[in-house]
């Protein structure tokens, strides 16, 4: 029915109504995506906090700050192996 109304608006030269309908559909899909991200945010926040706390816990065992930064990069970007680097 909604599609039919939009088609009628286009056929009877009412462009404003057709454009406004298109905008409302766009906003509805944006809001839907935003709600989906908001529901997953605590999960990602916990992962980020856990990785940061892990860095703080182990940073005192490294000889240099550079090694701690490399570990942070490995954890945050989920890189399993960095060539030429050994602990």
Q: What is the pLDDT along the chain (87 residues), one digit of tens a residue?
A: 555 565 565 555 555 554 555 555 555 555 565 566 556 555 555 555 555 555 555 555 555 666 666 666 666 665 555 455 554
62 lies in some domain: yes
3 lies in some domain: no
47 lies in some domain: yes
Could you give the number of structural domains in the chain? 1
Residue 71: Cβ-neighbour burial (10 angstroms; 0-12, 13-18, 19+): buried
Give the separation between CA 16 and CA 19, rounded to whole angstroms.
Answer: 5
pTM (predicted TM-score): 0.20
As given in the structure block, the two tokens for residue 4 are: 């039919």
83 lies in some domain: no
Domain span including residue 67 = 10-76
Give the separation between CA 84 and CA 87, rounded to whole angstroms.
Answer: 10
């Amino acid at each position: 029915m909604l599609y039919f109304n939009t088609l009628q608006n286009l056929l009877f030269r009412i462009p404003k109504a057709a454009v406004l309908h298109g905008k409302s559909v766009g906003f509805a899909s944006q809001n839907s995506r935003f709600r989906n991200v908001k529901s997953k945010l605590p999960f990602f926040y916990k992962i980020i906090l856990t990785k940061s706390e892990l860095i703080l816990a182990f940073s005192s065992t490294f000889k240099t700050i550079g090694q701690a930064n490399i570990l942070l990069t490995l954890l945050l970007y989920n890189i399993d192996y960095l060539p030429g680097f050994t602990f």
